[in-house]
Amino acid sequence: MAQIDTFAGVIPPVLTPFAEDLTPDHGRFVDHCKWLLAQGATGLAVFGTTGEANSLSVDERVALLDAALEAGIAPDLMMPGTGCAALTDTVRLTGRAVAAGCGGVLMLPPFYYKGISDDGVFRSIAEVIDRVGDSRLRVYLYHIPPVAQVGFSVDVVGRLIEAFPGIVVGLKDSSGDWSNTEALLKAFPGFATFSGSEVFLLDNLRGGGAGTITATGNVNLAAIRALYDAWQSETAEALQAEITEVRKVIQAFPAIPALKAILGSYHDDLAWRTVRPPLLDLEAEQVSKLLNSLQSHDFDLAA
């Protein structure tokens, strides 16, 4: 089998900025993508959970993707989230991403129905791959049971790899359960397994994993990248401890509004704070608490 280029490193699930009327803000989105790459991002997982993608229509996602590509961001750095509740939406978004030359897609299983069997999950992903029908497609499975509720068991991952070699090439494990990541690493050497949190980055790399796709990458990318670059060095444990501590401070707050508030503060741009329903903006008091907490730890975010 030919060598397949897959993503590796530190990939932020890019936050989606909104104007006051809640329309996606293309300018700030493109600027944020470029800034993340300048900070050391090895790819951009636009339209993930952190990007409030499922609160956007397919058209809104396509327009944002087009804006990023038109602004000169290399398509092979893009890993758009394309998994929707509706089969036809997932096919349309995935087809569009492949046609645009995206390096891969991050694919949720359909998430409306619950208690879906492995056969149902397999059939869902297989149907999308068959319909897109393009050998350039690279699928990264998006396993996030705390949110989607429907996930990818180790068994169904194996079935998908076997059925679609060179197409199903990786997975983001946002289960929050290290033993699940460990099981994937052991079962599928060479498969690009990303931890869904930088807390497990060093463990993941030591186990043969590909890196991390982590929400906190939106605000702490340089530090997480530093660990990725130095994971085999003597400083690795200390670097891991530092980014884990930052993560813990942030995750005491609702993640998406908190990350937007940090970015708003860093860029001195309050517009960044806006989130779409059903999410709620952080209240001023919470923002102060969050920023004070980061400051008191002397964290130099977004270096």
Q: Summarize as ranges the residues that interact with a second copy (CB under 8 A).
A: 22, 49, 54-58, 60, 84-89, 92, 109-114, 116-117, 119-121, 123-124, 127, 146-150, 276-280
Q: Respond yes or no: is residue 49 known to be catalytic.
A: yes
Nearer to a second copy, 19 or 38 (CB): 19
Torsions phi, psi for 109 (to 5 deg): -75, 160
Exposure b/e, 203-242, CB count within 10 A at least 16 = b: ebbebebbbbbbbbbbbbbbbbbbbbeebeeeebeebbeb
Q: Respond yes or no: is residue 140 known to be catalytic.
A: no
Q: Respond yes or no: is residue 142 known to be catalytic.
A: yes
Nearer to a second copy, 56 or 223 (CB): 56
From 16, 142, 193, 274, active-site residue: 142
Q: Respond yes or no: is residue 34 known to be catalytic.
A: no
Least distance (Å) between residue 261 CB and a second copy:
17
Least distance (Å) between residue 281 CB and a second copy:
10
Angle in degrees, CA 57, 142, 172, rounded to 5: 135
Nearer to a second copy, 149 or 244 (CB): 149
Angle in degrees, CA 66, 94, 194, rounded to 5: 100
Nearer to a second copy, 6 or 55 (CB): 55
Per the document, the length of the chain is: 303
Least distance (Å) between residue 203 CB and a second copy:
26
Can you tell me the distance from the alpha carbon of 125 to that of 128, in angstroms, rounded to the nearest whole number?
5
Active centre residues (catalytic): 49, 112, 142, 172
